[in-house]
Amino acid sequence: MESLPPSKVNCSMARPKSLTLPLSVDRALKGHACQHNSNHSIAKGDLRLKVAVGRSYEHYCVTCARAFVAQAIERLQKLHTELEG
Protein backbone atom coordinates (compact mmCIF):
# COMPACT_ATOMS: atom_id res chain seq x y z
CA MET A 1 0.00 0.00 0.00
CA GLU A 2 1.24 3.43 -0.92
CA SER A 3 1.99 5.80 1.97
CA LEU A 4 0.38 9.22 1.98
CA PRO A 5 2.43 12.41 2.29
CA PRO A 6 2.37 13.93 5.81
CA SER A 7 -0.10 16.63 4.74
CA LYS A 8 -2.65 13.99 3.67
CA VAL A 9 -2.52 11.83 6.80
CA ASN A 10 -5.55 12.18 9.08
CA CYS A 11 -4.73 13.26 12.59
CA SER A 12 -6.74 11.70 15.41
CA MET A 13 -6.51 14.81 17.60
CA ALA A 14 -8.55 17.90 16.78
CA ARG A 15 -6.88 21.29 16.74
CA PRO A 16 -7.69 23.26 19.91
CA LYS A 17 -10.31 25.99 19.53
CA SER A 18 -9.49 29.59 20.42
CA LEU A 19 -11.76 31.51 22.75
CA THR A 20 -10.29 34.86 21.75
CA LEU A 21 -10.92 37.12 18.79
CA PRO A 22 -8.10 37.79 16.34
CA LEU A 23 -6.19 40.56 18.15
CA SER A 24 -2.99 42.45 17.55
CA VAL A 25 -1.21 45.62 18.63
CA ASP A 26 -0.08 48.08 16.01
CA ARG A 27 0.68 51.77 15.56
CA ALA A 28 -1.87 54.21 14.21
CA LEU A 29 -1.03 55.50 10.74
CA LYS A 30 -3.22 58.57 11.34
CA GLY A 31 -4.98 60.14 14.30
CA HIS A 32 -8.53 59.08 15.15
CA ALA A 33 -10.89 58.42 18.06
CA CYS A 34 -11.02 55.21 20.09
CA GLN A 35 -13.95 53.07 18.99
CA HIS A 36 -14.96 52.34 22.59
CA ASN A 37 -14.78 55.86 24.00
CA SER A 38 -14.91 58.74 21.53
CA ASN A 39 -13.41 61.04 24.20
CA HIS A 40 -10.16 59.04 23.93
CA SER A 41 -7.99 59.99 20.98
CA ILE A 42 -5.34 57.92 19.24
CA ALA A 43 -2.60 60.07 17.73
CA LYS A 44 -0.54 59.11 14.71
CA GLY A 45 2.16 56.67 15.86
CA ASP A 46 0.36 55.68 19.10
CA LEU A 47 -0.01 52.03 20.01
CA ARG A 48 -3.54 50.69 19.70
CA LEU A 49 -5.40 47.39 19.97
CA LYS A 50 -6.57 46.07 16.59
CA VAL A 51 -9.54 43.68 16.73
CA ALA A 52 -10.76 41.81 13.66
CA VAL A 53 -14.54 42.09 13.38
CA GLY A 54 -15.87 40.34 10.33
CA ARG A 55 -13.92 41.63 7.33
CA SER A 56 -12.83 44.87 8.99
CA TYR A 57 -11.02 46.06 12.12
CA GLU A 58 -11.90 48.09 15.18
CA HIS A 59 -9.18 50.08 16.94
CA TYR A 60 -8.98 50.90 20.64
CA CYS A 61 -6.70 53.18 22.65
CA VAL A 62 -4.23 51.69 25.14
CA THR A 63 -6.35 52.73 28.15
CA CYS A 64 -9.45 50.90 26.90
CA ALA A 65 -7.40 47.98 25.56
CA ARG A 66 -5.74 47.35 28.92
CA ALA A 67 -9.16 47.28 30.59
CA PHE A 68 -10.46 44.79 27.98
CA VAL A 69 -7.43 42.52 28.37
CA ALA A 70 -7.59 42.59 32.19
CA GLN A 71 -11.29 41.71 32.11
CA ALA A 72 -10.70 38.87 29.63
CA ILE A 73 -7.87 37.43 31.74
CA GLU A 74 -10.10 37.53 34.82
CA ARG A 75 -12.93 35.73 33.00
CA LEU A 76 -10.62 33.08 31.55
CA GLN A 77 -8.97 32.45 34.93
CA LYS A 78 -12.41 32.00 36.48
CA LEU A 79 -13.39 29.50 33.79
CA HIS A 80 -10.09 27.67 34.23
CA THR A 81 -10.70 27.39 37.98
CA GLU A 82 -14.25 26.12 37.45
CA LEU A 83 -13.01 23.45 35.02
CA GLU A 84 -10.49 22.17 37.57
CA GLY A 85 -13.41 21.07 39.68
pTM: 0.74
Q: pLDDT of 7-56, one tens digit each?
A: 555 667 777 777 778 899 999 999 999 999 999 999 999 999 999 999 99
Termini Cα distance of the chain = 47
Residue 29 within a domain: yes
Residue 32 within a domain: yes
Domain count, the chain: 1
Q: Which domain holds residue 47?
A: 23-83
Run of H or E including 34: none
At position 21, the amino acid (one-letter code) is L
